[in-house]
Amino acid sequence: MVSALDTPRIPRHEGYESETTDISESEQEGHAVCVAWAPSTVRAGSGITYDLSALDGDSGPRALLGLIGRFEVAGCRQVIGPNGYYYFDLSERVQVHIGSSLSTCTCSASKARPDVACQHIFWVLDQLHGYYNSQRTQFGVPLARNGSSPALTPIQTLLTGRLDILAPHLGWPYERDGADTVVPTMSRQETVCDILSAFRADTLTEEFRADLMAETQGDSRSSRTPEQCVMQGDLEATLFGLAAHDDAVYASLCKAMPRGACAAIYFDKVHERLRRLFADFDRSSSRPPSAMSIEKTLDTIRRHAERIEHNLAMRGSVAAQGAAKTLVYLLDEITRRAEGTESIDPATVGPGKQQNNSLYYRLIGDPAGGFFLLDALAQVAPSSLRQFHGQLGVVLHRLREYHAPRAYIHRFTDLMGTIE
């Protein structure tokens, strides 16, 4: 017996053959579902024909739905380390990890039954095997409940660190990551906040309804009926609750507002806030700026820079264009305000009032200030930065003219070299 949420609804498919496969559903929501699973074969999207006879009522429907399904990979990478794995970010906002001994997924079906591969795992493995078996037709390949097949070479052996070569052939964006790090991702609740905040004119994901996030802290495994999710007079809270607890509502929201659209909207909002910030700062420059106003402006710029870098890492390749545009804009605005500091040479002049009042000097010109924005720019794929090559060249000219630290100029020059 499996729950209604765990058992997928199987569409008809011309490559699917079965004598007695039957999925019966209770007419009343929330009741258990009985599944009778018979020996069957299916020709998957890769062209491989699989034998599903070894699968039971839990794993069989998941395998079938994955093998005949269509998903989109928004990004993939290899995470290196003692417990390294291959990471696949699907457009349905779920992440699949293919490890040497275990494959996992962040979808609700996998969380409910982690010992059984979900449809996303079956699909990813089939796509990878299809690439390596494209020259010969495979018939009746047996499948195990964890998604593997004793008749096929383990996918970890086939890949052996070559996902970056394979990915372009499958049309999958590859995100380079040589560090032994866990790839950051949004939780389901954070994803819902990201989607709902996109419908607000000037609310960032991090600022959206902290009260809703607080209610779900430590309560992600509890389930609620649709009726329990209704909040009288609060449509946002109702949608949040439904999407957090109902897979169908969650999937519909994700399709209505895809990851790429959310990323573009997010960075447009950050860009607009920075534009208004610099406009306000320029208006106040007609009179001597107070130390408080300068510090407030600096804090706001730094906070937005941290948000850009964090969201670039969190959102993956779909965020590259928006992040690149916003980072280049920020660098351009800061270096444009370097006028008046050309006589300030950090090597010969100590700290003074003129330096303290300069956004450029405080963020970039100070030798002790580090590499402001360059770490974030280094995360952006060179292909996403090439369209900004001219603007970055102007920034480099200003850095040299206004005595930016040599280390900063050298690193910026190296970055320019990667996009030429």
User: What pLDDT, in 10s, does the model give residues 390-419?
Assistant: 999 999 999 999 999 999 999 999 999 988
Residues whose CB falls within 8 Å of the CB of residue 262, separated by 6 or more in sequence, listed in order: 194, 195, 198, 205, 315
Mean pLDDT value across the chain: 81
Position 93 scores a pLDDT of 78
Position 143 scores a pLDDT of 92
For residue 199, what are its two tokens? 């419908």
Name the residue with higher pLDDT: 88 or 247.
88
pLDDT tens per residue, range 68-118: 888 888 888 888 877 788 999 887 778 899 987 789 998 888 888 888 999
0.85 exceeded by the pTM?
no
Residues in the chain: 420
Sorting pLDDT into bands at 50, 70 and 90, what band is 326?
very high
pLDDT tens per residue, range 354-382: 556 689 999 998 887 789 999 999 989 88
Position 218 scores a pLDDT of 53
Percent of the chain at pLDDT > 70 equals 79
94 closest CA partner among 81, 83, 103, 84: 103
For residue 242, what are its two tokens? 């439904």
In this model, does residue 383 exceed pLDDT 60?
yes
Position 375 scores a pLDDT of 92
Mean pLDDT value of segment 153-168 = 86
Q: Which of 103-112, 122-131, 286-295 has the highest mean pLDDT?
A: 122-131
Instruction: List the chain domain ranges.
Output: 16-170, 188-256, 259-419
Mean pLDDT value of segment 305-324 = 90
- In DSSP terms, which residues pair with 103 in a beta bridge? 98
Angstrom distance (rounded) from CA 193 to CA 323: 20
Assign residue 160 a region (left: φ > 0; alpha: ψ between -120 and 50; beta: otherwise).
left
Sorting pLDDT into bands at 50, 70 and 90, what band is 313?
confident
Position 244 scores a pLDDT of 87
Name the residue with higher pLDDT: 284 or 326.
326
In this model, does residue 163 exceed pLDDT 60?
yes
Answer whether 311's CB lies under 8 Å from 323's CB: yes
Mean pLDDT value of segment 183-205 = 88
